């Protein structure tokens, strides 16, 4: 009976995982969530400026891949807040998962990149008029920012995929492409948000390492 009870519980969890698939979710994502304090920036620190941050993600019409959001995007504004699609127990794409609180995919990545620059010892400036020939100008293309559900035998995970290509004005460009997994038994917006937060934290750490190496080019 013990094994049967566990199996029933897991099956019920899977049903509940998709039970809210018809209802869209809006996640309140904070780009600074659970981050450590930024490093102290010295007075003679090199300056950095974030230029264009573009959302170049491809929304396809459905490939069967569980990571494929397959949404119907009505506008550019809707595109920039849509990060996934809920699925029913048969894998059919259902209600959308979007960002709330005025956040967008581009604003979150911009904020994380600015934090990573500050962590690596740069002085981040926000006024383009303050850019000098010595300023590191950073641009980025975001080609992944997805949240999806990975369902296996007797287990399920939320998965956050985040990837971007970073182009600095000095030195070579680089890409960051990572995934974060979180085990779940029931659908829960808080767990969805936690998965995205953990993914952004990993992205910030990876970007900080790259920017620290870049700083030596000044």
DSSP string, 67-129: T-------SHHHHTTEEEEEE-TT--EEEEEEE-TT--HHHHHHHHHHHHHHHTT-EEE--GG
Residue appearing with tokens 């997994």: 181
**Which residues of the chain, if any, have pLDDT below 70?**
1-23, 33-40, 61-71, 87-93, 152-154, 186-187, 217-218
What are the tokens at 211? Answer: 């920017």
Tokens read off for 194: 């936690």
Could you tell me the CA-to-CA distances from 24 to 74, 109, 181 in Å, in that order? 16, 23, 21
pLDDT recorded at residue 115: 93
| pLDDT at residue 10, rounded to an integer | 43
Distance, in Å, from the CA atom of 199 to the CA atom of 194, rounded to the nearest integer, reads 9
């Amino acid at each position: 009976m013990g094994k049967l009870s566990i199996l029933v519980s897991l099956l019920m969890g899977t049903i509940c995982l998709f039970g809210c698939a018809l209802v869209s979710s809006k996640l309140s994502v904070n780009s600074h969530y659970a981050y450590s304090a930024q490093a102290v920036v010295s007075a003679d620190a090199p300056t950095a400026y974030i230029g264009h941050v573009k959302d170049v993600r491809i929304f396809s019409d459905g490939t069967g891949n569980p990571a494929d959001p397959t949404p119907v995007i009505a506008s550019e504004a809707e595109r920039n807040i849509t990060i996934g699609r809920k699925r029913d127990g048969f894998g059919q794409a259902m209600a959308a998962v979007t960002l709330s609180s005025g956040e967008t995919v581009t604003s979150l990545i911009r904020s994380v990149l600015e934090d990573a620059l500050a962590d690596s010892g740069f002085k981040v400036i926000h006024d383009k008029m303050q850019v000098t020939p010595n300023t590191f100008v950073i641009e980025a293309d975001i080609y992944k920012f997805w949240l999806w559900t990975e369902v296996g035998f007797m287990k399920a995970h939320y998965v956050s995929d985040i990837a971007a290509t970073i182009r600095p004005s000095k030195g070579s460009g680089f890409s960051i492409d990572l995934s974060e997994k979180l085990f779940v038994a029931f659908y829960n917006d808080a767990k969805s948000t936690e998965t995205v937060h953990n993914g952004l934290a990993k992205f910030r750490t990876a970007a900080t390492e790259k920017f620290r190496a870049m700083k030596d080019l000044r």
